[in-house]
Amino acid sequence: MKQLLLSTLVTLFFVGHLNAQLGEFRVECTTGDSVRALAATAGPDGSIYVLSSVANGFNNPAGNANDAIVTRIDNTNQMVWSREYDPGTFQSITDISSTEDGGFMLSGTSTTVYFDGFLAKGNADGTLQWSQFPGNPDLLERGFAGLQTSDGGYIFAGHHSPSFETALYLVKYDASGAVEWGQYYPVAGQGATGYDVAEVPAGGYLVTGSIGGIAVGDKAFVLRLNEQGSQLWANTYQYQDFVGQGVSVVALEDGTFALLQTTFVDDQFTGARGALISRINLDGSVIWSRLVVLSNQAVTVEYNGLNFVLYSQPEDLVFTPDGSLLFVGASDVDNSGDIRPALAKISKDGEMLWGLELAEEGFLSGPFRFGGSPLTVTSEGYYAYVYEDLYDRDGFRLVKVDEQGQGICADPLPDAFLTPVNLDVAPISFVGSTLTASTDLDVNVSDQDFSINPNNSSFTLDLGNDTLICSGASLLLDPVLDSTAVYQWQDGSTDSTFTVNASGIYSVTVTQDECTAVDSISVVTPEDAVALGPDLEVCDGESVTLGPVFEVPGDYTWSNGATTPQIMVTEDGTYTLELTTTCGVVTDEINVNILELPDVGAEVVPPNCGENNGAITINLSGGDPASAIEWFDSEGNLIAEGVQTIENLSDGSYEAIITVGADCFSTSTFFLAAPDVPQAEVNVSPPNCQGQASGILTLDVTGGITPYQFEWSRNGQPFNESTATINGLLPGLYAYTVTDATGCAISQDSIALPDVPPINFQVETVDPACPGEATGLIEFSGLSGSTSPYTFALNGSTEQTEPVFEGLASGLYEVTITNSNNCDTTVSLTLAEPNALSVDLLAQPNPASFGDSVQLEIISSAPIDPALSTFQWVADSGAVLSCTTCHDPRLLATSSVDIELTLTLDGGCTYSAELFLQVDGTRQVYIPNAFSPNEDGINDRFEIYPGAGLAEVLNFQVYNRWGGLVFEAKDGVSAWDGTTRGETAAAGVYAYIVQVRWVDGFTTLYEGDVQLFR
């Protein structure tokens, strides 16, 4: 179908032909083996690698139960080659992924003695570069997914079972197949299996799978790893506490990723099942999540004489080149008891773009496969998917559609296919342990053979090429389809054909079985094919292309000699076109008028004084008359039209659009730049000293237009100054007015020029403490109200910066304080002379006898506070004072003595006084010369009677006339009672010896006799 060339009209045609690469195809194994479809991945040049497996059972004669088969299918859906791979006794190769060299990787499980992980690198021709058992060959391990990494290496994911508890494990290989690192990732108390792994563009990996076991995991998880396999974070994602498993994880280019997981939709294991599709940030937080209810109940089927329960399950999720997500899963969305693949394209915002339900009604999809990726995007941008019919044992189906989901006949999915939901996200911890083992193994490779045939053909709808019909003729449009087709033409008619006899675009929509196609055709008569349309007005300096709307086969001749369907003109005139076709000759003409725009002059008056008083006037000269004048402000708002002058404008840009004719216009832009309104800042300098005419006012004026004029006033009276600065000012209230060259004036009243405050201070004076001393002080503090620093001068002496004068005698002083502005103040101060104190001493008694205790007293002209004064008493050597620093000591008189007192008051003043004490030095003691011990109470004892100053009797003995000792004072007995040895002594004369010690330390011996009377 050929599209007509248009000059001023573009018509789009949807062609109903389907691409031969697209559609559904049955891939049949021609060797007699039963096969299961597992996975698919894109190959080079639009080809596809399809992974399937032999499903003959263990007892088949060929002994190839579960061998992997890779079939390469080119972009025309022809088989390039097919290879069978046998790595061991039993194998479950579940996944295939493409490599950058055009080859592929196989991932899964193989068996020697134990279950072992399996990883193999294949070439584009199906040969293998290498194959290995990733992990420890002595442990039970299973693999599910692998892919090539951006560094050319490979990463493999699965689980191992060192005991009865599974643990996730990953192995990273370099490009040659050598192990770079390996890690086990157990979860304490729970099993963990990894079903899919993805590389993050920013670095590191994402792994998804299930926590809780391989058959029915409890929760889906995502584990984020760095490039060395260390955990960055791990979360579980669950919907309303239902059981779920992670199926597929896809890293997106924008730093997010998508997660596909299974979920139950109720608490019954045989009940509703669904899929959860989520877009998640790289920190693990969920952006959005959508629930897909795949079926409301399980389907029970009979297979090989046994009953089986089939479940709907999500299968795969991939990222498309246009930034969308592609989902596929086995479903029973209409609850009809079948299980059919559901293919849906979803935007990155979680909205369904389109959805298809594949296969025919009643179809039962083959059992769910763990780890496989049956969905891929080819290098040509088509979407390919492999699936199988439960009852079709020797083949499987391949579906290829374009990015709009077209290429096959399929039922659409319901609009409510996706339901927004919220997921519960919880952190989980995997404990990594090192795994380094990997073992080479041999794989037997043999050829297999498949045939590929269309399985779901669509039909071709073709109304033919765009065409010319002669006036009065007609054209029959006939799609030529079978009787099952249903038609709807552009006018709503439903006949299988449509008769055309006039120019126009005709279309039909045809539905046949489950397929719908649309086609259209343009039909034109010679008169319409030569029609040039209405006369044109063209702007001066521009060109215009003349020609008919439709181009048809024929000869074109213009009045200017041109023979092309279209010509370009730049001049006035009438142009005629003659068209010769099989229908004859037809002509048409068109007038072209060149319009000239006038010249635009302008008078611009900018606004001033901050007011909207600007104006613009345009003057038009020459050219054609203006058909319209429109004015626009800077925001594109229409503010006036039909006038040449606009007023009351603020500053800014304005556009005037002058239109001539219908489409010729010129745009003139004007910018009104209003000068800034004058602004003034007043700088105030108060007088230097209080009451002094030395103040200054200065105006700093900006904005407006110079020169400026200044007017001043003081205290409401005009002030004869006209400059920006006025000085020699007394304190007061001033005002100014500034007028710029445009007459814009600003003013300010009540500018206070303050008086300088006086120098404020506190002063402390201390009088001399003692009469005649120079210990007075004057000290200033708390200076304020003026500018520092300050100086101080005493009685006109040299100035000093310290505010203290010390060592002053009593008298009148004047202190002058001067500030930094040389302003001063003087203060007069008086220091008083303290009153003198007279001090004398008094001794009682005076004169005194030997041994007297003489009381010393201070006689003063003013009271003395003993607590605040100090005393120092000094007497001649040998004199005994009761204390030397107390207020009123006592003196023991032994001899005449000079006494001196030094008195210091609390202010530090010292006074002294002297006294001579006259002492009679006679030592007095009385010893009786007779006694009568007759117990009459009178003179019954002979004892020593001491005078003043006697300290102690050292010895007191009495002897009889024969010299015998009759009494000795001892043991506390100091008087003789006239007995001797307990017997009454005879009357008579007795001799005595008495020795005494005086208070001054001298001793005296007394001897004599005493008469004892009876």
Q: What is the pTM of this model?
A: 0.51
The predicted model gives 556-567 an average pLDDT of 94
Residue 405 lies in a domain: yes
% pLDDT > 90, the chain: 46
The predicted model gives 688-703 an average pLDDT of 88
Report the alpha-carbon distance of residue 447 to residue 453 in Å, rounded: 20
Containing 526, the helix (H) or strand (E) segment is: helix 526-530
The predicted model gives 361-370 an average pLDDT of 76
Q: How confident is the model at residue 910 (pLDDT cuts 50, 70, 90)?
A: confident
The predicted model gives 788-794 an average pLDDT of 91
The predicted model gives 599-616 an average pLDDT of 90
Is residue 275 within 8 A of residue 325, CB to CB? The reply is: no
Average pLDDT along the chain: 86
Whole-number pLDDT of residue 15: 30
Domain total in the chain: 7
Q: Domain check: are 163 and 288 in the same one?
A: yes
CATH number at residue 532: 2.60.40.10
**Domain end call among 397, 427, 457:** 427
Q: How confident is the model at residue 534 (pLDDT cuts 50, 70, 90)?
A: very high
Q: Domain check: are 121 and 50 in the same one?
A: yes
Containing 287, the helix (H) or strand (E) segment is: strand 286-295
The predicted model gives 180-197 an average pLDDT of 84
Residue 582 has pLDDT above 60, yes or no: yes
Query: Bridge partners of 780?
Result: 763
455 Cβ contact list (under 8 Å, min separation 6): 23, 24, 25, 26, 397
Residue 7 has pLDDT above 60, yes or no: no
Whole-number pLDDT of residue 162: 64
Report the alpha-carbon distance of residue 315 to residue 450 in Å, rounded: 24
Q: Domain check: are 731 and 817 in the same one?
A: no
Whole-number pLDDT of residue 114: 67
Whole-number pLDDT of residue 12: 24
Q: How confident is the model at residue 491 (pLDDT cuts 50, 70, 90)?
A: very high
CATH number at residue 343: 2.130.10.10
Q: Is 389 exposed, middle or buried (0-12, 13-18, 19+ CB in 10 A)?
A: middle
Our measurement of the distance from residue 95's CA atom to the centroid of its chain's CA atoms, rounded to an integer in Å, reads 42
Residue 506 lies in a domain: no
Whole-number pLDDT of residue 59: 44
CA-to-CA separations, 587 to 26, 524, 568, 829, in angstroms, rounded = 59, 15, 18, 127
Rg of the chain's alpha carbons, rounded to an integer?
A: 64
Is residue 360 within 8 A of residue 338, CB to CB? The reply is: no
Residue 214 has pLDDT above 50, yes or no: no
Report the alpha-carbon distance of residue 825 to residue 691 in Å, rounded: 13
Report the alpha-carbon distance of residue 16 to residue 211 in Å, rounded: 49
Identify the weakest region by mean pLDDT among 258-272, 526-540, 923-937: 258-272
Residue 474 lies in a domain: no
Q: How confident is the model at residue 708 (pLDDT cuts 50, 70, 90)?
A: very high
The predicted model gives 948-975 an average pLDDT of 87
Report the alpha-carbon distance of residue 888 to residue 890 in Å, rounded: 7
**Domain end call among 561, 595, 629:** 595
The predicted model gives 391-402 an average pLDDT of 88
CATH number at residue 980: 2.60.40
Whole-number pLDDT of residue 824: 86
DSSP string, 489-509: ETTS---S-EEE-SSEEEEEE
Residue 309 lies in a domain: yes
CA-to-CA separations, 635 to 199, 351, 485, 646, 674, in angstroms, rounded = 49, 37, 58, 16, 18
CA-to-CA separations, 758 to 691, 817, 818, in angstroms, rounded = 10, 11, 11
Structural domain boundaries enclosing 744: 679-753
Q: Domain check: are 205 and 334 in the same one?
A: yes
Q: Domain check: are 534 and 391 in the same one?
A: no
Q: Domain check: are 685 and 565 in the same one?
A: no
Residue 733 lies in a domain: yes
Whole-number pLDDT of residue 11: 27
Our measurement of the distance from residue 546's CA atom to the centroid of its chain's CA atoms, rounded to an integer in Å, reads 62
Q: Domain check: are 769 and 817 in the same one?
A: yes
CATH number at residue 813: 2.60.40.1080
**The two structure tokens encoding residue 696:** 């200054």
Q: Domain check: are 273 and 316 in the same one?
A: yes
Residue 421 has pLDDT above 80, yes or no: yes
Q: Domain check: are 142 and 267 in the same one?
A: yes
The predicted model gives 195-209 an average pLDDT of 94
Q: How confident is the model at residue 689 (pLDDT cuts 50, 70, 90)?
A: confident
Identify the weakest region by mean pLDDT among 45-49, 110-114, 846-850, 883-887: 110-114
Give residue 685's identity as a one-letter amino acid code: S
Q: How confident is the model at residue 883 (pLDDT cuts 50, 70, 90)?
A: very high
Listed residue (833, 832, 826) closest to 780, CA to CA: 826
Residue 57 has pLDDT above 80, yes or no: no
The predicted model gives 286-291 an average pLDDT of 94
Residue with token string 């054209």: 475
Residue 31 has pLDDT above 90, yes or no: no
Q: Domain check: are 251 and 154 in the same one?
A: yes
CA-to-CA separations, 122 to 53, 107, 195, 377, in angstroms, rounded = 16, 11, 21, 19
Report the alpha-carbon distance of residue 371 to residue 851 in Å, rounded: 130
Q: How confident is the model at residue 218 (pLDDT cuts 50, 70, 90)?
A: confident
Q: Domain check: are 573 and 619 in the same one?
A: no
**The two structure tokens encoding residue 122:** 């294949």
Residue 485 lies in a domain: no
Residue 441 lies in a domain: no
For 366-378, give one letter per residue: b (16+ CB within 10 A) or e: bebbbbbbbbbbb
**Phi, psi dihedral angles at 576 (to 5 degrees):** -120, 135
Whole-number pLDDT of residue 268: 59
**Domain end call among 808, 831, 854:** 831
% pLDDT > 70, the chain: 92
Residue 462 lies in a domain: no
Q: Domain check: are 686 and 783 in the same one?
A: no
